[in-house]
Amino acid sequence: MGLYQEKKISGWMTILLLGAIFAALFLPMLGVVREFLHNESLFAVEAQEFDFSLPVVTAHKVIQNNFPLYPALSSVLYRYTGMSMETVLRLISIGMLALTSVIVYLAAASVRSSRAGAVACAMYFSTTIVLEKTGEGYPTTTAAFFLLAAQLLFFHYSIRKANWNRAWVVAALLLALGFFAGGITVLVFLIVPLFFLRRPMSIREKVGKPGFIMAVVILAIAILGWLIPLVQGTKSMDLELIEWDKMTILNFFRNLASVLGTYPIRLLPWTLIAWLPFCVALQQLDQTPIFSRYLRTLAFVELGLLALLPMLDIRDLIYQLAPLSILVGLSYDLGVRRYGLGLRKLLKLGEIFLLGIAGIIVLTYFLPEGLLGRIFSIANTLAFRETAVCRLGGAVAICVIVGIVLLLRFSRSQMPIWLNLLLIMTGSWILFSAVLLPYQAQDTTKRKFGRDVAAALKPDGGRRIYKNGIIDLYGGLYYSGAEVIRIDNLDNLPEDDKVIYLISQEFPQRSDRSWVNLFPEDYRYRKHRISLWKGTLRKE
């Protein structure tokens, strides 16, 4: 196979391209405000009610099993910027991804070249898993920032500077911040890989150093500073906090198959070159073998943790993606020189795929809804496409995708493979921005539920609701503006309050009060019957 030579792009032009594409991918997620997704509402109420005088996260007078850094940052932005809570949560998630992408770029560029940095950065922020999860208001990218900083600085001070004391202390400080954002998972993703390191990175002879002792003290203070108030507040240590209840044989093999089976899909389109760092022929030519071996250990062990521990979430793959992206950036030049011609042929499929994406957008915007429903499963209305803004956006999206296809088609011999992959992902993600995002934004079920609750409480001026026997509802109740207190059973209701409000699915079995349902008898929320009870204390 002949050697493949790739045209280079200047460093500044590369940075401008990366910045522009990052903005094109993620700004639409902030421009179109969707209702709270999944558990975003829990972080919303924690941020709204965050008390900076307390060392743990509290919400609705109940201590939640979450960690304080992300709600604290969200609370500050929410209180002093005037942005909506949905925007605040997602802005932090996207902003921390941007900061981590910069670290990924610098880590690869500092030891190899600006092109290595560009490849690493582009892969990190444009894989399927990152694009899918970052637009949701979760603390994962915040924790990933501190975890990667700890991993890289640990290597920098231990191997490059031969200062193991500083390496332990700096890593522990960053890891403590990561723990306050992501919890135990962050500690596991740094500490466990250390036991698999080989010389000269082996830690066996370095654990007796003063820096190691200080690092243990720092982490112990951080963990106890979070754990002790949690135990005091709940009067017990909830085992569900670390979710050992999920560790069953069935869940083990189900998680193993899910992670390993979907891993290549979640790395798309970078799966095409993600294997390059693990090619033995390329490893023999590596100019930084110790750094690469360190990163490979991190990538392998973290993927193993994801596959073997059912309590970990698939979004935690973002932690593993950072060292893998740097690895791909470091091996890119050697890899494309050897395999570039074959990779270039495979990339032709990307152009066909993008044309298919453009076709879907055309059908979505211009095909009658009844006919479209026979092709795709449509749960909600397509009313969004009737607005002039969305129609214009759909037309622009189609033109942009066609433009990308033409650019890829006629610049194939000159365009770098990494930029080709990035543009394919950008064109593919336009489907989300032009169709799925406005489609999801139409759903106002939670807001409507919140308005219904507020309207039912308004005549009496009620502001506090007790919630019993319903797993979720935080999202909808957030929009009601009411204070929500979760109770485990009806015995925890206040005894002396003349009037209380209880939301539940069953009639409250408390004879000391007369109960009136403020909702219509047939009221349903997401296909479930819900009642809002007004309980008035009976006169003795």
Six-digit token pair at 96? 């921390």
In this structure, are strands 531-537 and 513-517 parallel, antiparallel, or unpaired? antiparallel
Contact in structure between 256 and 262 (CB atoms under 8 Å): no
- Measured between its terminal Cα atoms, the distance across the chain in Å is 93
CB neighbourhood size of 61 (10 A): 12
Phi, psi of 52, deg, nearest 5 = -75, -10
Contact in structure between 113 and 333 (CB atoms under 8 Å): yes
* Identity at 451, one-letter amino acid code: R
Six-digit token pair at 118? 């560009």
CB neighbourhood size of 73 (10 A): 21
For residue 238, the model assigns a pLDDT of 45
Beta bridge partners of 467: 486, 503
HEC assignment per residue over 30-59: HHCCCCCCCCHHHHHHHHHCCCCCCCCCEE
HEC assignment per residue over 235-294: CCCCHHHCCHHHCCHHHHHHHHHHHHHHHHHHCCCCHHHHCHHHCHHHHCCCCCHHHHHH
* Residue labelled with tokens 């064109």: 427
For residue 242, the model assigns a pLDDT of 45
CA–CA gap between residue 35 and residue 27 (Å, rounded):
17
C-alpha triplet 493, 497, 499: angle, nearest 5°: 95
For residue 55, the model assigns a pLDDT of 63
CA–CA gap between residue 294 and residue 38 (Å, rounded):
36
Enumerate residues 6+ apart whose C-beta is below 8 A from 507: 515, 531, 533
Q: Tell me which DSSP letter residue 173 carries.
A: H
State the virtual CA torsion across 211, 216, 222, 225 in degrees, nearest 10: -130
Beta bridge partners of 524: 529
CA–CA gap between residue 526 and residue 349 (Å, rounded):
41
> Which pTM does this prediction carry?
0.89
Cα–Cα distances in Å, from 300 out to 16, 75, 195, 270?
Answer: 32, 36, 13, 17
For residue 1, the model assigns a pLDDT of 47
Enumerate residues 6+ apart whose C-beta is below 8 A from 399: none
pLDDT tens series, the chain, 540 aa? 456 777 778 878 889 999 999 999 999 888 888 888 877 888 888 888 787 776 666 665 555 657 889 988 999 999 898 888 999 999 999 999 999 999 999 999 999 888 999 999 999 999 999 999 998 889 999 999 999 999 999 999 988 888 989 999 999 999 999 999 988 889 999 999 998 888 887 777 777 788 889 999 999 999 888 887 777 765 444 434 444 455 677 777 887 888 888 899 999 999 999 999 988 888 888 888 899 999 999 999 999 888 887 777 888 999 999 999 999 999 998 888 888 888 888 888 888 889 888 888 888 887 776 676 666 666 666 777 777 777 788 888 888 898 988 888 888 778 889 999 999 999 999 888 888 888 888 878 888 888 888 888 888 777 888 887 676 677 788 888 888 877 777 777 877 778 888 888 888 887 778 888 888 888 888 778 888 888 888 776
Beta bridge partners of 531: 504
Contact in structure between 396 and 358 (CB atoms under 8 Å): no
For residue 237, the model assigns a pLDDT of 42
SS3 444: coil
* Residue labelled with tokens 């969305």: 390
| Relative orientation angle of helices 317-346 and 417-431, to the nearest 10 degrees | 110
CA–CA gap between residue 115 and residue 252 (Å, rounded):
40
For residue 261, the model assigns a pLDDT of 87
* Identity at 270, one-letter amino acid code: W
CB neighbourhood size of 17 (10 A): 16
Indicate the helix (H) or strand (E) that contains 529: strand 528-529
